[in-house]
Amino acid sequence: MSKTKSNKLRHWTTATPSPSWTTSTATAPCPPHSLTNMLSVCDQRLYGFAICFASGLTCTLLSMLVFFKPIKFAIAFTLGNLLSLGSTAFLIGPKRQVTMMLDPARIYATAIYIASMIIALFCALYVHNKLLTLLAIILEFGALVWYSLSYIPFARAMVSKIMVSCFDTEF
């Protein structure tokens, strides 16, 4: 064993650990067996994002298996949306996520999207009405698309113009 490794190991056996919030990670020694200390904050965020996003995508895809059972579909689909939405908080941080969601350009899209998820879960878990649950899921999907388009510059304006041109009829 090299001299520096043995010094580090000796330091661990003689030093008393201090709380992680009182010392910086650059100066505080990390135990060699701790997974969270072996990963950088960036790595932890990427793993958190990947796990949360994969879980959300899995729930959303598994919801397709119960598509003809609207109540189960609503629960799985909404849980998948919540996990996917939460996964982006790992990348940019929860404070910035909320700040971006409450930005004046997308505040209405955010409010409708969150309300549609609550309505879908309410219809599925408490009302147990398949028709209302199906309508809530359609609303949730539309709100998801509109919310997602709010992050792409000029996307909502373009989709609005296309919809008006497609469905605009003169009598």
Residue among 171, 153, 149, 152 nearest 163 (CA)? 149
CA–CA separation, 87 vs 54, rounded Å?
9
Contact 60, 80 (CB under 8 A): yes
Confidence label for 30 from pLDDT (cuts 50, 70 and 90):
very low
Contact 43, 106 (CB under 8 A): no
Q: What pLDDT score does 38 carry?
A: 64
Interval 131-169: pLDDT, tens: 999 999 999 999 999 999 888 888 989 988 888 888 875
Mean pLDDT across 12-39: 48
Confidence label for 91 from pLDDT (cuts 50, 70 and 90):
confident
Contact 150, 137 (CB under 8 A): no
Predicted model pTM = 0.68
Q: Where are the domains of the chain?
A: 3-38, 56-162
Mean pLDDT across 45-52: 92
Q: Which two tokens stand for residue 43?
A: 């790595």
Q: Is the pLDDT of residue 92 over 60?
A: yes
* 3-state secondary structure at position 71: helix
